[in-house]
Structure 1
Amino acid sequence: MKLRLTAAALLFPLLCGAAAPQGAPGEKMRTEKVLRMFLSTSETGLDPAVASDNATLSLLENLFDPLLRYDYLARPAKLRPNTAAAMPEVSADGLSYTFRIRPGILFTPDPAFKGARREVTAQDYVYSIKRLYDPTLKSPWAYMFEGKIAGDETLRKRYGPDVPVAGLQALERYTLRIRLNAPDNNFLFYLATAATGVVAREVIEAYPGQAGNHPVGTGPFMLGDWKRSDRIVLLANPDSTAVFHATPGHNAEDRALAAALEGKRLPRVDRVEVKIAEEFQGRMLGFLNAEYDYLEQIPESMTDMVVRDGRLKPELAARGIVLSRFPVLQTYYMWMNMNDPVVGGYGKDKVALRRAISMAYNNAEDIALLKKGFAIKAESPLPPNVLGYDPSYRSPVPYDPALANALLDRHGYSRRDPDGFRRAPDGKALTLTMHSEATVGGRLRDELWRKCLNAIGLRVVFKSDKKTEIIKASRLGTVQMFESNWIADFPDGDNFYQLLYGPNAGRANYARFDLPAYNLRYEQARRLSDGPERQKLYFEMNQLIHAYNPWVPLTHVLSGDLRHPWLKNYKRHPVEFTAWRYLDVDVAERARSARGRGGNR
């Protein structure tokens, strides 16, 4: 399906100055600045309340505006106002947050507004947050608010956009007040996620059940052209009110970037052309052929194409290409469905099976051969630089195939098929089914898992599919095992430990792990700020994860990032998915580079 904006949006080049004004025949047309990008998986529907995959979130954070966003340069990550005029006023008891919304923020044009210019109000944020409670949407972000906003039980019992919620009110046109049942140290982080981007009720109701096909926001970009799972074009929003402000540290490059951009209107480019590039080789070759302006996270299987002895190859450095390493707030893990009849359950035999699977995983081989050294071993769900991370914590579950074999023998898996594979304790054939992505990288991971599991006598078959389809099936509980990853929505341990919280089963908790001892500690930790008391609870939660093994924690990525010399203002952010609004393109330098390569890009 191909979607286009209305005629009003097609006036974009005139509105934003892409062409010389009429009446100036001697002037040259300004060259349009185009940022060329890719997404590694297909997007899903562009509805902030529903989407949870990285590809779609990358688009949403450029189309929709939450109240807050992250400072581009501050490290560690820090929030700053976005559509809010300032950071909120917080009551002394930590329960009440009052936001003043900047006047003059407009939704992009849509027929739902019947030709009127539609301004954002506090009531729009009330509506947008309420949508997360809509049971028909099954929002994976509802956990951020359910049971936390004062009086939201009325909304949970009987959802409706007009159901009053005492703790969620528009006091006046531009004043929003949110009151909580209990203090939540991460609450402001939630208000910087794409899920809380403001939407207009008229648009949602104009396209029942199809809001994801009609993204109408207030962000720095708006949708231009959309050919599903193939190509997306974002156009600079001529009504964007975003202005650059940032807080650089002592880094000289950051300080220079801040000085050059301070107070300037965003975005800096006229359009972003995005392709879907699911194959690693296609991404790498596309970057090297200058089809993409930067590439974040060199594909593991492609590292040797660009890196030699840990450094960028000289011939690429001579082209001005830059390699940088970045510690991503990301955890790779393999989860097992606790409701699955083969690997699920809390009995000793099923715990033994999952622990043996965990002990069979060869982390060193994964890092050396698949990730080419661009990763570190995951000891727990938390990656470095996330609040709550304990650098001294070590997993009590080692890589030990011999011990894994002994454990299986002891707990009823000793009988074997004629081909040497183990049978279940009831004597029936035992086959594990692991979903995997239908990519080169997915196949390489399949082979590593096959090798590891076969070493302890476990037969495994792989079911390949697109990641978006696997996610859908995971939410329905029909996937047995899958190697996945989580990138922080906000830089706090809560964002990772909620992935195993029982009430989140069917949402982000794909393993459907539901252990009262874990749930209790998670709920206690959620009420605490970072410190020794919360650290103790996190330690105990780690121990429970390793005792029951719903996950096999795998790695934390050290991203190898590449960028071309004509890309300006680039700095990788630890939380936000993209930096598109800040990036600029030196069109002349790009053209010179193309001539130097004998190309015409």
Structure 2
Amino acid sequence: MLNCLFIPASWFYVALLWLLLCFSCKNPSGKKEGAVLRYNQPGGITSLDPAFAKDQANTWAVNQLYNGLVQLNDSLQIMPCLAKNWNISPDGLTYTFTLRNDVYFHDHEIFEGGKGPKLTAADVAYSLGRLIDKEVASPGAWLFNGKVEEKQPFTALNDTVFQLRLKQPFHPMLNILSMQYCYVVPQKIVQHYGKEFRNHPVGTGPFRFKTWRENEALILTANRHYFETDAQNTPLPYIDGIKITFTENKRTAFLQFLNGNLDFISGIDATYKDDVLTPDGQLQPALNGKVLLLRSPQLITEYLGFLLGTSGNPALQNKKVRQAIGYGIDRPQLIRYLRNNIGTPASQGFIPKGMPAFNPQTPGFTYQPEKARRLLKEAGFEGGKGLPPITLEITPAYQDLCTAIQKQLSEVGIAVTLELNPPSLLREKTAKGDAAFFRASWIADYADAESFLAVLYGNNPAPPNYTRFNNPQYNQRYQAALAQSNPQERHLIYQQSDQILMEEAPVIPLFYDEVLRFTHPNIENLGINPLNLLNCKQVKIK
């Protein structure tokens, strides 16, 4: 690790002073600005290299520093970014992108004359090639492994035209290219710093790297040569910088927010949720006018999964028993009393609310205790008599939720024992096939329902197919969706696949999660979206 990672405190506070001096400035929109957007990242950041943007903490920072070929708006629509247009060959195998010619990397002393060079298609080819380079060992390699051609999958046809070639059609590819893993980096800087590029980031994004004192603060400053503008042709970003702190205690961070030392908080912790939200999920009256609450569906499905096949619990191989469990759970009650109405009952399938392919008419599981009892009887276990022991594998964070589910299921004749596991152990059990019945979450990697339906695709190992579900009709629908170029037709196939899942019940969806952001009234254009991405380029501070 290079010594420059550990920045002397004197230099760090000089950087802070520099940002504070910006408070008196005006941004290009002409509005008075507070200059610096401040937020806390309790889990810390491990890398500012897009190739290692593996979690929310890293992706939020990376999203400010770099750009990809395409980007998503808050409605999850694919929009141009570094690429101004693109076309897909009729066979779905070749993607050709035409790049903007006004994009420059951030200035850096390593570049000739200290000036950032113009981005070219060769930079794109290099950046995507890094993801599948075994020496880089990027956790994002799976995005392209097995999907792109073995030889020359990424090609710069000239300075402004880039081409990507697939082995077989995979129409979620544009969504994959919007992910932070796929953001573009300068080869010269990466090769100069090697692994230490993680803390010497240089991109094309709306903000530039200034200072990172690990576990204390990260400071980014506005890139005043950024290529994007707003609808009135005003240069972006509006603000002068971003300050990210790393207070581990979430309650302490929330108090800092209430005291005006942070500009927004993402999510809510159990230690203070009742102080902030009413049981119905609204802001406590004392906070009205002082705090704004932003909400959005989040692409997360919380569910119960069953191990299918000879290794699973014999009783749970019976579809009617699995369905009885699905109908024996009162989801609205769980969300209201345990989650302050954060989330939506998962009554429409495995595809979560907020996903473009979500269909509110998909028949899923609702609370029907009499139907649950009838299904149990039809399975040969009337009133639960003769039903073999059922153990639900859980983690401590979900003990309250699963205890409530245990009680609800007992009322329809299904006795369930809970077994607590550390998260790492439960992941190991599900991967090895040692968990016959388990609670899990699935989080979208990208804004296409394939990201969820792949979890139950029969040809996939564990992970992601922890249930070992292998249904020929479902597998055929999954493959048909990947080959379908028309988005509406593909969504229809996804919805048909989801209906198969609800009939066969390898999983029992519990609820779709929700993004919550708390902000002050003087923060504008923070935005919110189902992928919980943070985009600061249009933020204004009044």
- Under TM normalisation by the shorter chain, which class is it? 0.7 to 0.9
Is structure 2 residue 420 aligned with structure 1 residue 483? no
CA contact (8 A) 2:67 2:82 kept: yes
Contact in 2 for aligned 1:66/1:192 (Cα 8 Å)? yes
Counterparts of 1:37 and 1:224, CA distance in 2: 16
Residues 214-253 of structure 1 mapped to structure 2, 5 A cutoff: 215-224=201-210, 226=212, 230-236=215-221, 238=223, 241-245=226-230
State whether structure 2 residue 155 is matched by structure 1 residue 177: no
Residue 35 (structure 1) shift: 1.8
Residues 505 and 512 of structure 1 are in contact (CA less than 8 Å); yes or no, is this contact kept in structure 2?
yes
The Cα shift of 1:67 comes to: 1.5
Deviation at 1:460, TM superposition (A): 1.4
Q: Corresponding residue for 1:97?
A: 96
For residues 3 and 368 of structure 2, the distance between their equivalents in structure 1, rounded to whole angstroms, comes to 50
Corresponding residue of 2:415: 457
Amino acid at match of 1:434: I
Distance 1:325 1:18 in 2: 31
User: How far is the alpha carbon of 1:265 from its aligned partner?
Assistant: 2.7
User: How far has the Cα of 1:524 moved from its partner?
Assistant: 0.5
Equivalent residue in structure 2 for 1:527, among 474, 483, 490: 483
> Residues 238, 515 of structure 1: CA spacing in aligned structure 2 closer, same or farther, 3 A cutoff?
same
Give CA-to-partner distance per residue, 1:240-286, whole Å, 9 cap, x none.
Answer: 5243335xxxxxxxxxxxx5xx422326232222335575x455444
Secondary structure of 1:382's match? coil
Instruction: Provide the C-alpha distance between the structure 1 equivalents of 2:109 and 2:404, rounded to a whole number of angstroms.
Output: 50
Task: Quote the residue 2:29 is aligned against.
Answer: none
Q: CA deviation at 1:398?
A: 5.4
Distance 1:242 1:371, change over 3 A: farther
Cα 1:403–1:203 change in 2 (3 A) is farther
What residue in structure 2 maps to residue 596 of structure 1? none
Q: 1:18: Cα distance to partner?
A: 6.6
Which of 309, 331, 343 is matched with 1:375 structurally?
Answer: 343
1:411-469 Cα offsets, whole Å, 9 max, x none, are: 9x9668xxxxx54xxxxxx64432344xxxx453353345456662221122245xxx5
- Residues 402 and 316 of structure 1: CA distance in aligned 2, closer, same or farther (over 3 Å): same
Contact 1:2 1:226 in 2 (8 A): no
8 A Cα contact 2:36 2:241, kept in partner: yes
The answer to whether 1:435 aligns with 2:395 is yes
Structure 1 equivalent of residue 403 of structure 2: 447
Which of these residues, 82, 85, 88, is aligned with residue 86 of structure 2? Answer: 88
1:300 and 1:370 in contact (8 A); partners too: no
Change in CA separation of 1:298 and 1:434 when aligned onto 2, cut-off 3 Å: closer
AA aligned opposite 2:207: F
- What residue is the counterpart of 2:330 in the other structure? 362
Paired residue for 2:154? 168
1:158 corresponds in structure 2 to: none
Specify which of 18, 34, 37 is matched with residue 39 of structure 2: 37
Secondary structure of residue in 1 paired with 2:287: helix
User: Equivalent residue for 1:597?
Assistant: none
How far 1:198 sits from its partner (Å)?
A: 1.4
CA RMSD of aligned residues (A): 4.5
- Residue 306 of structure 1: which of 234, 251, 276 is its match? 276
Contact 1:474 1:510 in 2 (8 A): no
Deviation of 1:194 (Å)? 0.7
Q: Deviations over 1:353-375 (max 9, x none)?
A: 65555444431222211232343
Tell me the amino acid that sits aligned with residue 262 of structure 2: Y
Partner AA of 1:580 in structure 2: C
CA contact (8 A) 1:376 1:557 kept: yes
- Whichever residue aligns with residue 100 of structure 1, its letter is L
Indicate which of 529, 537, 542 corresponds to 1:581.
537
Secondary structure of the corresponding residue to residue 403 of structure 2: helix
Look up the match of 2:358: 389
1:301 touches 1:370 (CA, 8 Å); kept in 2?
A: no
Identity over aligned residues, as a percent? Answer: 23
Deviation digits for residues 63-122 of structure 1 (CA, Å, limit 9, x no counterpart): 3321122346xxx443333223x22255566644232243552256487x7996563432
Q: Compute the TM-score of the two structures, normalised by the length of structure 1.
A: 0.70
Q: Is 1:349 matched up with 2:317?
A: yes
Task: Check 1:175–1:532 CA distance in 2 against 1; reply closer, same or farther (3 A cut).
Answer: closer
Post-superposition shift, 1:222?
A: 4.4
Distance 2:14 2:430 in 1: 39
TM-score for both structures, normalised by structure 2: 0.77
Distance 1:278 1:477 in 2: 34
CA contact (8 A) 1:62 1:219 kept: yes
Question: Retained in 1: the 8 A contact 2:63–2:180?
Answer: yes
AA partner of residue 372 (structure 1): N
Task: Quote the offset at 1:572 in angstroms.
Answer: 1.9
Q: Could you say if the C-alpha distance between residues 13 and 239 of structure 1 is closer, same or farther in structure 2, counting changes exceeding 3 Å?
A: farther
Mapped contact 1:502–1:514 kept (Cα < 8 A): yes
Q: Are the aligned partners of 2:306 and 2:316 in contact in 1 as well (CA < 8 Å)? A: no
Query: Are the counterparts in 2 of residues 233 and 272 from structure 1 also a CA contact under 8 Å?
Result: yes
Q: Letter of the 2:130 partner, please give it.
A: R
Relative to 1, partners in 2 of residues 1:32 and 1:50: Cα closer, same or farther, differing over 3 Å? same
Structure 1 partner of 2:28: none
The one-letter amino acid paired with 1:189 is N
Please name the residue that 1:255 is paired with.
none
Quickly say closer, same or farther: Cα 1:69–1:235, change in 2 above 3 A: same
Q: Which runs of 5+ in 2 are unaligned?
A: 23-31
Q: Show the counterpart of 2:59.
A: 57
> Contact (CA 8 Å) 1:204, 1:211: kept in 2 or not?
yes
1:33-53 deviation line (CA, Å, top 9, x unaligned): 332213464545444344443
> How many residue pairs align between the two structures?
520
Aligned equivalent of 2:68: 66
What's the offset of the Cα at 1:126? Answer: 1.2
Equivalent-residue separation in structure 1 for 2:52 and 2:495 (angstroms):
32
Query: Is 1:546 aligned to 2:498, yes or no?
Result: no
Equivalent position SS for 2:85: coil
Cα distance in 2 for residues equivalent to 1:532 and 1:70 = 18
The answer to whether the 8 A contact 1:45-1:212 is kept is yes
The aligned amino acid for 1:332 is E
Structure 1 residues 162-198: Cα deviation after superposition (integer angstroms, max 9, x where no partner): xx41x52111233312244566544332222112111
Q: 3-state DSSP class of the match of 2:452?
A: helix
Distance 2:519 2:17 in 1: 30
Equivalent position SS for 2:37: strand
Shift of 1:560: 4.8
